[in-house]
C-alpha cells in the first residue's frame, strides 16, 4: 500500500515510513480501516434526557453502518477483571454521570481506552468570544467527566469536541452516518495520547542551550515570539490547577493520564538544525557503491549501520540515506510567545528510527521539561526535509531548499487553525486536506506528514517548480508549515491565517 491522497504521488509505502519513524505496529490510515478496528460499548443511560436517548440510539446504528463493532456494555466487560472493560475499547456514556460510575471507573488503563460523553445542550464554545475561552470551555467538561471526547446534542445539531481543541459542528442537513464515518470514527480510532518520557531515549541535562552552535536558532525563537503573540494563534496553557474535578481521586486519574504535566498547551515551534546533504544515487551508482540491494520491498532497508530508502521521483528509482535529524523545539506547556530559552527549549533527535530527547541543564523532566504531544510529527517533518534535500541535490543541485537546509536548517510551526490557501508562499505545496481528521499527536498524523511532504516534492518535480517547503493541513485540527525561519513563518501567518480554533 502506498500512502497518498487522491491526486498525490505516493513515493514510499506505509511500512517503509513506519520503519523510518520507528512505529512498530501497523496503523490504520483510512476511515474504513479505522472503523474496522473500533470496538465500542455504550454505558446504560441511567439519567439521560429523551433527546440524548434518541441521539444515542441513532449514533449506535450509524456506527454499525460505518463498520464499527458495537456491543452491549455487559459484553465488553473483562471476565478476568470484574467491573472493568477489555483493553482497547471505546466507551460511550450518555447523559448525566455519577461519581463512582464514570466511564473511567470501568477501564484499567486510560491510555488504551477512549471515553466519550454525550451531553444535553448546546456546545459552550458557541457562547465564548475568544479562541482561548472556547478552548477552556471544552476542556472544563472533559475534565469534569474524565473523557477524551464530548458530544453536545441540541435540537438543531450535534457538536464533537476533543481534548486537542477540535470543535466540529455536525447534523446540519448531512446524514449522521456520513459524519460518523468521516468525522467521529477517526477521532475515536486515533485519540490524543500524551507521550511519556519512557517512550524515548531520555538524556536529562545534556543540552547546553548557550552553546554557540545554537545561538542563531535561539535568536529566531526569541525574535519570532512577539509576532506569534500578535497572531493569537498559539493558545496558551490550560492549567490543571484551574480545572474543576469531582474529587481528588479523579484529579489524580487525569494527572496520571497527562503524565503528571501541569496542564495542556496547543501548538509548537521548532528549528531543525542543519545537517550534511547526501546526494541521492541512481540504481547503478547505489549498487556500485553498496552492492546488490532490495529495490522491491517496502522501500526502506538497513545496510550496515545506515538506513536507506528507495523513492520514485519522475519514474526514476533513487536511493537516499535516511540521515539522523536534530530539532530544537518548545517544551510542552511553555508560553511560546514569550520563551525562556534556557528552560523552554529541548532537543529532539531521530536516530535510525529511535527518538532521543535531551533536556536543558538544570531542568528535571518530571517537573520542568516534557516532550511535546506532537513529537513524532515534528520529527516526521524533519526527516522529510532531510530526504528532500538529498533528492534535490541530485535532481536540481542549485535548488534553494537543499542549500538553505545544508547551511541553516529549516523551521516548523504548528497552530490549531487553518490558513488562507490563496496566500501559499512561492514554491510551497499544500497537502493533507483529504486525510481523515486526526490530531497532531497520533501515529497517523506523523505518517500523513512524511508521506504528504514527499508526495508534494514529487509533484513539484513533475511541475518543474523549485520546491521551497510545504503546508500540512490537519483537518479539524491545525496546520504545520515548513519554512526558512520562525520569523518568516510568523510574518506569513499574520497575513494568511484564519481563526485559531474553528467550530465547523
Under the banding of pLDDT at 50, 70 and 90, the label for residue 8 is: very low
What is the reported pLDDT for 47?
Answer: 84
97 and 233 co-located in one domain? no
Please give the order of strands across the beta sheet that includes 201-207: 201-207, 354-360, 345-351, 325-330, 268-272, 410-415, 478-483, 469-474, 428-431
Instruction: Pick the range with the lowest mean pLDDT from 8-12, 44-48, 57-61.
Output: 8-12
User: pLDDT tens digits for 106-162?
Assistant: 888 777 889 999 999 999 888 877 767 777 777 788 888 888 899 999 988 999 988
The residue among 412 and 342 whose pLDDT is bigger is 412
What is the reported pLDDT for 3?
Answer: 39
23 and 49 co-located in one domain? no
* Cα–Cα distance, 182 to 475 (Å, whole number): 11
User: pLDDT tens digits for 263-287?
Assistant: 555 678 999 999 999 999 998 898 8
Under the banding of pLDDT at 50, 70 and 90, the label for residue 493 is: confident
Query: Is residue 419 in a domain?
Result: yes
Q: Which three cell numbers stand for residue 143?
A: 475534565
Most confident of 220-234, 381-395, 420-434: 381-395
What is the reported pLDDT for 360?
Answer: 87
288 and 315 co-located in one domain? yes
Please give the order of strands across the beta sheet that includes 90-94: 69-72, 39-42, 90-94, 114-120, 149-153, 158-162, 167-170
What is the reported pLDDT for 59?
Answer: 96
229 and 296 co-located in one domain? yes
String of b and e for 484-502 (b: at least 16 CB within 10 Å)?
bbbbbbbebbeebbeebbb
**H/E run at residue 19:** helix 14-21
Q: Is the pLDDT of residue 93 over 50?
A: yes
Q: Is the pLDDT of residue 205 over 90?
A: no
9-13, long-range: CB < 8 A, 24+ apart: 9/312, 9/455, 9/458, 9/459, 9/462, 10/451, 10/455, 11/311, 11/312, 11/313, 11/454, 11/455, 11/458, 12/299, 12/300, 12/309, 12/311, 12/450, 12/451, 12/454, 13/298, 13/299, 13/300
What is the reported pLDDT for 422?
Answer: 60
Pairing of strands 201-207, 263-264: unpaired
Query: Is residue 485 in a domain?
Result: yes
279 and 136 co-located in one domain? no
* Cα–Cα distance, 255 to 305 (Å, whole number): 40
Under the banding of pLDDT at 50, 70 and 90, the label for residue 6 is: very low
DSSP at 359: E
What is the reported pLDDT for 261?
Answer: 55
Domain that holds residue 130: 31-189
Tell which phi-psi region holds residue 95, choosing left (phi > 0), alpha (psi between -120 and 50) or beta.
Answer: left
What is the reported pLDDT for 444?
Answer: 94
φ/ψ of 165, rounded to 5, equals: 95, 5
The residue among 462 and 260 whose pLDDT is bigger is 462
Alpha helices for 291-423 (secondary structure H): 341-344, 375-395, 400-408
Q: Share the mean pLDDT of the chain.
A: 85
Going from the C-alpha of 330 to that of each of 319, 347, 411, the distances in angstroms are: 33, 9, 12
User: In 3D, which of 438, 439, 421 has the Cα closest to residue 430?
Assistant: 421
φ/ψ of 89, rounded to 5, equals: -90, 155
**H/E run at residue 288:** helix 283-290
Q: How many domains does the chain have?
A: 2
223 and 173 co-located in one domain? no
Query: Is residue 50 in a domain?
Result: yes
The pLDDT > 90 percentage for the chain reads: 46
pTM for the structure as a whole: 0.90
349 and 451 co-located in one domain? yes
User: pLDDT tens digits for 224-263?
Assistant: 999 988 887 876 556 666 777 777 777 777 776 665 555 5
182 and 212 co-located in one domain? no
126 and 182 co-located in one domain? yes
CATH number of the domain encompassing residue 291? 3.40.225
Q: CB atoms < 10 A from the CB of 403, how many?
A: 15
Q: Is the pLDDT of residue 501 over 70?
A: no
Question: Of 189, 215, 250, which residue is a domain's last?
Answer: 189
Amino acid at each position: 500500500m502506498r500512502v497518498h491522497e487522491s491526486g498525490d504521488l505516493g513515493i514510499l509505502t506505509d511500512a517503509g515510513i513506519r520503519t523510518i519513524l520507528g512505529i512498530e505496529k501497523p496503523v490504520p490510515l483510512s476511515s474504513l480501516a479505522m472503523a474496522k478496528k473500533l470496538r465500542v460499548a455504550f454505558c446504560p443511560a441511567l439519567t439521560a434526557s429523551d433527546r440524548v436517548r434518541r441521539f444515542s440510539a441513532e449514533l449506535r446504528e450509524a456506527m454499525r453502518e460505518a463498520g464499527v463493532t458495537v456491543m452491549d456494555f455487559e459484553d465488553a466487560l473483562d471476565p478476568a477483571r470484574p467491573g472493568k472493560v477489555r483493553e482497547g475499547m471505546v466507551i460511550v456514556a450518555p447523559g448525566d454521570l455519577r461519581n463512582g460510575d464514570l466511564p473511567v471507573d470501568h477501564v484499567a488503563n486510560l491510555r488504551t481506552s477512549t471515553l466519550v460523553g454525550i451531553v444535553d445542550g448546546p456546545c459552550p464554545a458557541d457562547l465564548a468570544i475568544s479562541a482561548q475561552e472556547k478552548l477552556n470551555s471544552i476542556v472544563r467538561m472533559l475534565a469534569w467527566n474524565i473523557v477524551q471526547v464530548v458530544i453536545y446534542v441540541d435540537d438543531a445539531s450535534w457538536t464533537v469536541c476533543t481534548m486537542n481543541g477540535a470543535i466540529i459542528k455536525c447534523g446540519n442537513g448531512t446524514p449522521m452516518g456520513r459524519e460518523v464515518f468521516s468525522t467521529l470514527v477517526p477521532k475515536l480510532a486515533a485519540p490524543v495520547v500524551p507521550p511519556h518520557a519512557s517512550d524515548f531515549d531520555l538524556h536529562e541535562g545534556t543540552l547546553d542551550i548557550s552553546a554557540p552552535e545554537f545561538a542563531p536558532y535561539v535568536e529566531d525563537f526569541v525574535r519570532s515570539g512577539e509576532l506569534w503573540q500578535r497572531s493569537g494563534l498559539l493558545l496558551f496553557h490550560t492549567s490543571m490547577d484551574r480545572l474543576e474535578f469531582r474529587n481528588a481521586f479523579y484529579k489524580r486519574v487525569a494527572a496520571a493520564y497527562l503524565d503528571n504535566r501541569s496542564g495542556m498547551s496547543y501548538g509548537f515551534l521548532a528549528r531543525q538544525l542543519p545537517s550534511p546533504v547526501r546526494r541521492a544515487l541512481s540504481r547503478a551508482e547505489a549498487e556500485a557503491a553498496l552492492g546488490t540491494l532490495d529495490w522491491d520491498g517496502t522501500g526502506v532497508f538497513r545496510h550496515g549501520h545506515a538506513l536507506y530508502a528507495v523513492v520514485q521521483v519522475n519514474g526514476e528509482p533513487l536511493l537516499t540515506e535516511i540521515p539522523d535529524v536534530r530539532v530544537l523545539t518548545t517544551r510542552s506547556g511553555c508560553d511560546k510567545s514569550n520563551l525562556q530559552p534556557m528552560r523552554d527549549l529541548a532537543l529532539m533527535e531521530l536516530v535510525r528510527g529511535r527518538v532521543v530527547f535531551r533536556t536543558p541543564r538544570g531542568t528535571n523532566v518530571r517537573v520542568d521539561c516534557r516532550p511535546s504531544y506532537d513529537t513524532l510529527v515534528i520529527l516526521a517533518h524533519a526527516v522529510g526535509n532531510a530526504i528532500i534535500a538529498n533528492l534535490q541535490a541530485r535532481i536540481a543541485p542549485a535548488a534553494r531548499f537543499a542549500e538553505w537546509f545544508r547551511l541553516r536548517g529549516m523551521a516548523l510551526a504548528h497552530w490549531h487553525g487553518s490558513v488562507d490557501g490563496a496566500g501559499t508562499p512561492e514554491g510551497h505545496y499544500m497537502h493533507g486536506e483529504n486525510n481523515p481528521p486526526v490530531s497532531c499527536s497520533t501515529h497517523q498524523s506523523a505518517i500523513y506528514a512524511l508521506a504528504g511532504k514527499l508526495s508534494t516534492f514529487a509533484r513539484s518535480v513533475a511541475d518543474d517548480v523549485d520546491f521551497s517547503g510545504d503546508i500540512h493541513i490537519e483537518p479539524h485540527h491545525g496546520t504545520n508549515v515548513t519554512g526558512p525561519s520562525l520569523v518568516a513563518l510568523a510574518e506569513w501567518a499574520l497575513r494568511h491565517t484564519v481563526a485559531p480554533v474553528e467550530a465547523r
